[in-house]
Amino acid sequence: MTLVGDVGGAPDAPSVILLHGGGQTRHAWAGAMRRLIADGYHVVNYDARGHGESGWSESGDYSIPTLASDLRSVLATVSGPAAVVGASMGGMTSYYAIGASDDRIAMALVMVDVVLRPAKRGAERILSFMKSHEAGFGDLDEAAAAVAAYTPQRTRPRDPEGLMKNLRRKPDGRLYWHWDPRLLDDSPNSRPPTSLDKLPDVSGRVTLPILLVRGLESDVVDDDGVADMTRRLPQTEVYNVPGAAHMVVGDRNDAFNDGLTAFLSRHLPGAQG
């Protein structure tokens, strides 16, 4: 399995590993990566298996334990202390990897709009969106219209060319999302953000500082989910981002970056700190 990612910052600086959400690619973190490097961090931002430019599993295994194993392999390539930042599927992966590891593999964890008990309506809406375009798109404008309908809180960009980072063109000429459609198979595989059954089993070993970033317009994380999270893990800090839905990083990137760097400055200061 080959994982493709971007790496920046001084290799001997504290590291931050970025894990995108299901159906996304590492490009979702572009702004955050630039900010973290400027703040003195060594950053690894990679495409999860089955996504973007990374390899696809021959067996279609995208389960949370397998994704967590990939994360541990990435962490093994960095020196010194590290923090892990995961959105949705990436948050679940990070949480499980930390809780299922015998050793302390990270100093801090940031979970972006994902909790142990997500709101059912929001989770179902994500799956519905991912399944509704299995036949691909005739052109880029068609793909942009689908994204705009799913994220009405965002201003639709005039030029949709940036979407091509998340699309691939097949020989038939149609555009498809840049992820393995087997992610949605009815199997034990990860189907973000609903595959949470394994997370409570490892909660007792998740003792590091946690930041829960919540988009206040998200239909995936609600008050009940936040209350459950903070009850199970009282060290959890909650950072609310107004005007952001489930895709917090894309909706309010500057606000997200401010909360992220403030948290990291207290628990894993960068080389500039």
The rounded mean pLDDT for the chain is 91
109: β partners: 84, 210
Q: Which residues of 17-29 are buried (b: 16+ CB within 10 A; e: fewer)?
A: bbbbbbbbbbbbb
Select from 49, 47, 45 the least CA-distant residue to 61.
Answer: 49
Work out the average pLDDT over 81-109: 96
Q: What angle do CA 114, 120, 125 make, to 5 degrees?
A: 85
Structure-token match 């696809």, residue found: 56
Helix (H, G, I), strand (E, B) or coil at 192: coil
Beta-ladder partners of 213: 112, 239
Region 52-61: what's the mean pLDDT? Answer: 94
Comparing 210 with 191, which gets the higher pLDDT? 210
* pLDDT band, very low/low/confident/very high, at 191 (cuts 50, 70, 90): very low
User: How many angstroms separate the CA atoms of 267 and 217, rounded?
Assistant: 28
- Alpha-carbon distance of 122 to 213, in angstroms, equals 16
Q: Is the model more confident about 112 or about 156?
A: 112
pLDDT: which is higher, 110 or 183: 110
pLDDT in the model for residue 219: 93
Locate 198 and state its tokens.
């394994």
Task: Give the model's confidence band at 188: pLDDT under 50 very low, under 70 low, under 90 confident, else very high.
Answer: very low
**Which parts of the chain fold into alpha helices (H)?**
30-38, 64-75, 89-99, 120-131, 140-150, 199-202, 223-232, 248-251, 253-267
Mean pLDDT of 247-273: 93
The C-alpha atoms of residue 176 and residue 1 are separated, in whole angstroms, by: 22
Position 190 scores a pLDDT of 40
Q: What is the pLDDT of residue 198?
A: 75
The encoded tokens of residue 181 equal 């459609």
What pLDDT sits at residue 149?
A: 87
Domain assignments of the chain as residue spans, ordered by start? 5-121+189-267
Q: Indicate whether 193 pLDDT > 50.
A: no
Q: Which of 31-40, 162-171, 204-213, 233-242 has the lowest mean pLDDT?
A: 162-171
Cβ partners under 8 Å of residue 268, min gap 6: 14, 16, 81, 82, 83, 107, 108
The confidence score (pLDDT) of residue 194 equals 45
- Residue 161's pLDDT is 87
Rounded mean pLDDT, 212-241: 96
List % helix, strand, coil for the chain (3-state, nearest 5): 40, 15, 45
Superfamily of domain 5-121+189-267: Alpha/Beta hydrolase fold, catalytic domain (3.40.50.1820)
The whole-number average pLDDT for the span 19-27 is: 94
pLDDT, tens digit (0-9, with 9 covering 90-100), for 135-167: 899 999 999 999 888 887 777 777 888 888 889
Q: What is the pLDDT of residue 169?
A: 92
What DSSP string runs through 82-128?
Answer: EEEEEETHHHHHHHHHHHT-SS---SEEEEES--SS--HHHHHHHHH
pLDDT band at 133 (very low <50, low <70, confident <90, very high): confident
Asked whether the predicted pLDDT for residue 248 surpasses 90, the reply is yes
Note the pLDDT of residue 130. Answer: 84
Q: Above 80 in pLDDT, residue 35? A: yes
d(CA 74, CA 72): 5
